[in-house]
A and B are shown apart, each in its own frame.
Chain A
Amino acid sequence: MEGAGFRKELVGKLLRLHFQDSGTRVSGDALQLMAELLKIFVTEAAVRGARQAQAEDVALVGVDQLEKVLPQLLLDF
C-alpha cells in the first residue's frame, strides 16, 4: 500500500461522526478496507476527470470536466 492514503484513525472518526447508535463500532480490518475504498473513490474521481479533460483536449481538470464524470461515479459507488 504505497503512496498517499486515508489513515485508519481519520476513517474511524469520519464513520463514527454519522453513526446513529453510539454503540456501533468498526473492526480494525473493516477500517483498513474502508480506507482502501475511500482511496479508490478519490482516485477514480481524479482519473475519470483527467480522462475527460484529455478527451476535451484541455490541460486542466476543472469543475466542468468533473461535473461530467460525477453521475457515473456516484452510480458506481
Chain B
Amino acid sequence: MEEEEEAEEQQRFSYQQRLKAAVHYTVGCLCEEVASDKEIQFSKQTIAAISEMTFRQCENFAKDLEMFARHAKRSTVNTEDVKLLARRSNSLLKYITEKNEEIAQLNLERKAKKKKKSEDRNKNSRESAEDGEVDNEN
C-alpha cells in the first residue's frame, strides 16, 4: 500500500516539475520582451523567482476559481469567475473585462465564419440537387 502511494507521489512530483519547466520557459520569454523594451537585463535568479511565484499563484487562483464556480452552483469555471479573481485592482479588473469582450468578439466572428462556410456548402449541394430534380421532372 505504501509503495503505491510513494509511486503516486513520485509521479505527481515529476508531473509538477514538467509544468514548472513549461511555466519557466514562458516567463523567460515574457521577461525577454520587457528586457528589450526597457533596455535592461534580468538575472537568472529573478526569472526563476518570478517563475516560482507564478506557479504558486496558480494554486491560489485554481482554488479560488473552483470555489467561485461552486458558489454559483456550477461545475465548470467560466469567465465570470475569472473576472472575480481580478477584483483587487481596479485597473486590472478593467483590463481583464476588456480582454474578455475581445475574446468573446473574436469567438463570435470565428463562429460566424464557420456558419457561413457550412451554409455555402449546403447551398451548393442544394442547388446541384435541385438541378437534378428539374431534369427528372422533364
A residues with a Cβ closer than 8 A to B are 3-7, 10, 13-21, 23-27, 29-30, 32-34, 36-43, 45-47, 49-50, 53-54, 59-63, 65-66, 70, 75-77
B residues with a Cβ closer than 8 A to A are 15-16, 19, 22-23, 26-27, 29-35, 38, 40-43, 45-46, 49-50, 53-55, 57-59, 61-63, 65-66, 69-70, 75-79, 81-83, 85-86, 88-89, 92, 95-96, 99-100, 103-104, 107
Residues in chain A near residue B83, CB distance under 8 A: 33
Q: If A10-B19, A77-B92 touch, does A25 touch B34 (CB 8 Å cutoff)?
A: no
* Contact of B82 with A30 in the complex, beta carbons under 8 Å: yes
Q: Is the interface of A mostly helix, strand, loop or mixed?
A: helix
Assembly CA distance A23 to B70 (angstroms): 11
* Contact of B79 with A29 in the complex, beta carbons under 8 Å: yes
Assembly CA distance A29 to B68 (angstroms): 16
Residues in chain B near residue A43, CB distance under 8 A: 30, 33-34
Since A18-B62, A36-B96 are in contact, a sample of 6 more A-B pairs with Cβ atoms closer than 8 Å, ordered by chain A residue number, is A4-B33, A14-B58, A45-B54, A50-B34, A66-B49, A77-B88
* Contact of B96 with A53 in the complex, beta carbons under 8 Å: no
Residues in chain B near residue A70, CB distance under 8 A: 53
